[in-house]
């Protein structure tokens, strides 16, 4: 019995024998010319010819020193454009025949540059500024007086007195009308600080009647301290038409004019007769009776402790070069005085500015 390794050797030898027989058969056939080997034939591809053609030269505009002219564009119209008819369809264009391009047909010389197109200059629009027509100067017209309810019967006004830029004292004014139509108007100025050592209290008092034309004073008192030489008294005799003024040892009588006032009553007379209605007023200070002319300086907003007040600024002149008086009256408070400025002959300025106002 054959073993397994003998069987394997037998198969190997048999395979070698078959391979040798096949190789021998192929060799005989090749020698006899009966067997040929050839690669499969491929179809011949078309010939592609590639030609290099020079590109056309790029034309550049010559440099110019002048800035480009930009044509003014017309403003766009806001009107709605009219409807346009629909365009007819275009016929199909025939294809252009391809032109044969050869290297010889392309010029290698650069072409002469052509000048850039220049827009035609347009007329520049200029806007003419119309000069305002000359206006003739008109005379100044003061504002019209505003109508107010009947004047109050009780008024209290406190002032801060300023002298040479510092606080000099306080002033209290009080106006009271009785049931019989008589009035009492009194002012007391009390110095403060160091001035209290050299200055005395100043009291002014006006008494009289309230009439349809306003205040008609009957007496006026000006008293500075306790000195009799500094005291002034005025008596108004409306029936006789005279006014008597006493200053110290001096006594003087003058004719009484209609509407005459004293140094206190003239400021409260504006409650009845607005300041711009009568600009001339006869006023006595206890020494003399003079006609004062008032002039309108303008309307001003005065900032005070009681708030901002709309005022009329009035000035007073007498024409003899004595002290100057300026007055600010509150338009919305019966033309009551809210600021008083006095400039003395030597230039000393004293201001009185309202700090409290009561009118009822």
- Under 8 Å CB-to-CB from 220, ≥6 apart: which residues? 204, 205, 206, 207, 232, 233, 234, 236, 262, 263, 264, 265, 284, 286
Sketch the domain layout of the chain as residue ranges.
Answer: 158-359
By the 8 A CB rule, do 294 and 315 touch? yes
Share of the chain above pLDDT 90, in %: 40
321-346 average pLDDT score: 88
By the 8 A CB rule, do 157 and 170 touch? no
CA-based nearest residue to 340, from 360, 319, 311:
311
Q: 0.95 exceeded by the pTM?
A: no
| Local structure of 196: helix, strand or coil | helix
By the 8 A CB rule, do 343 and 323 touch? yes
Tell me the C-alpha distance between 187 and 203, whole Å: 6
Tell me the C-alpha distance between 151 and 216, whole Å: 15
- At residue 248, the pLDDT reads 85
Tokens representing residue 212 in the block: 């349809």
Tell me the C-alpha distance between 324 and 345, whole Å: 8
By the 8 A CB rule, do 205 and 183 touch? no
- At residue 237, the pLDDT reads 97
By the 8 A CB rule, do 243 and 218 touch? no
- At residue 339, the pLDDT reads 97
pLDDT digits (tens, 9 = 90+) for 21-74: 778 777 666 666 554 544 444 444 444 444 554 555 555 445 545 555 444 444
- At residue 25, the pLDDT reads 76
- At residue 227, the pLDDT reads 82
- At residue 226, the pLDDT reads 86
Q: Which of 122-126, 152-156, 191-195 has the highest mean pLDDT?
A: 152-156
| Local structure of 116: helix, strand or coil | coil
Tell me the C-alpha distance between 163 and 342, whole Å: 10
For the four alpha carbons of 107, 108, 109 and 112, in that order, the dihedral sign comes to: positive
DSSP letter for each residue of 233-267: EEEEETTTTEEEEEETTEEEEEEPPTT-EETTHHH
pLDDT digits (tens, 9 = 90+) for 81-107: 555 555 555 444 444 444 444 434 444
Tell me the C-alpha distance between 116 and 19, whole Å: 91
- At residue 124, the pLDDT reads 47
Phi, then psi, of 20 in degrees rounded to 5: -65, -40
pLDDT digits (tens, 9 = 90+) for 12-35: 777 777 777 778 777 666 666 554
282-294 average pLDDT score: 89
Share of the chain above pLDDT 70, in %: 61
Phi, then psi, of 76 in degrees rounded to 5: -70, 135
Tokens representing residue 256 in the block: 């009484």
By the 8 A CB rule, do 150 and 331 touch? no
DSSP category for residue 153: S
Tell me the C-alpha distance between 46 and 111, whole Å: 39
239 pLDDT above the threshold of 90: yes
Phi, then psi, of 11 in degrees rounded to 5: -70, -40
CA-based nearest residue to 224, from 206, 208, 253, 247:
247
Tell me the C-alpha distance between 25 and 29, whole Å: 6
In the chain, DSSP assigns E strands to 154-163, 166-177, 182-191, 202-211, 214-224, 232-237, 242-247, 250-255, 261-262, 280-284, 289-304, 307-317, 324-330, 336-343, 349-359
- At residue 108, the pLDDT reads 43
CA-based nearest residue to 298, from 264, 268, 275, 270:
275
- At residue 316, the pLDDT reads 78
307 pLDDT above the threshold of 70: yes
**Mean pLDDT taken over the chain:** 76
């Amino acid at each position: 019995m054959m073993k397994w390794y003998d069987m394997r050797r037998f198969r190997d030898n048999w395979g070698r024998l078959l391979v040798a027989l096949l190789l021998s058969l192929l060799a005989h056939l090749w020698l006899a010319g009966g067997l040929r080997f050839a690669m499969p034939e491929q179809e011949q591809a078309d010939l592609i010819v590639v030609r290099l053609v020079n590109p056309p030269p790029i034309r550049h505009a010559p440099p110019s020193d002048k800035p480009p002219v930009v044509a003014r564009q017309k403003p766009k119209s806001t009107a709605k454009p009219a409807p346009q008819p629909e365009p007819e369809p275009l016929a199909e264009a025939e294809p252009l025949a391809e032109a044969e391009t050869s290297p010889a047909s392309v010029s290698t010389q650069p072409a002469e540059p052509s000048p850039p197109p220049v827009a035609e200059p347009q007329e520049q629009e200029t806007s003419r500024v119309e000069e305002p027509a000359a206006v003739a100067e008109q005379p100044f017209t003061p504002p019209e007086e505003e109508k107010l309810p009947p004047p109050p019967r009780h008024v209290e006004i406190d002032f801060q007195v300023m002298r040479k830029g510092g606080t000099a004292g306080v002033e209290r004014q009080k106006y009271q009308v009785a049931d019989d139509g008589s009035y009492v108007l009194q002012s007391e100025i009390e110095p403060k600080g160091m001035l209290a050592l050299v200055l005395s209290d100043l009291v002014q008092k006006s008494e009289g009647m309230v009439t349809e034309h306003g205040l008609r004073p009957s007496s006026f008192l000006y008293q500075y301290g306790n000195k009799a030489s500094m005291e002034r008294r005025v008596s108004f005799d409306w029936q006789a038409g005279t006014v008597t003024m006493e200053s110290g040892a001096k006594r003087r009588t003058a004719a009484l004019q209609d509407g005459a006032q004293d140094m206190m009553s003239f400021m409260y007379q504006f409650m009845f007769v607005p300041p711009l209605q009568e600009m001339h007023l006869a006023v006595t200070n206890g020494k003399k009776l003079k006609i004062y002319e008032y002039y309108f300086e303008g309307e001003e907003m005065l900032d005070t402790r009681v708030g901002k007040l709309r005022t009329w600024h009035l000035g007073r002149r007498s024409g003899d070069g004595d002290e100057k008086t300026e007055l600010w009256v509150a338009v919305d408070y019966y033309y009551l005085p809210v600021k008083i400025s006095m400039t003395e002959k030597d230039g000393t300025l004293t201001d009185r500015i309202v700090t409290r106002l009561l009118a009822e």
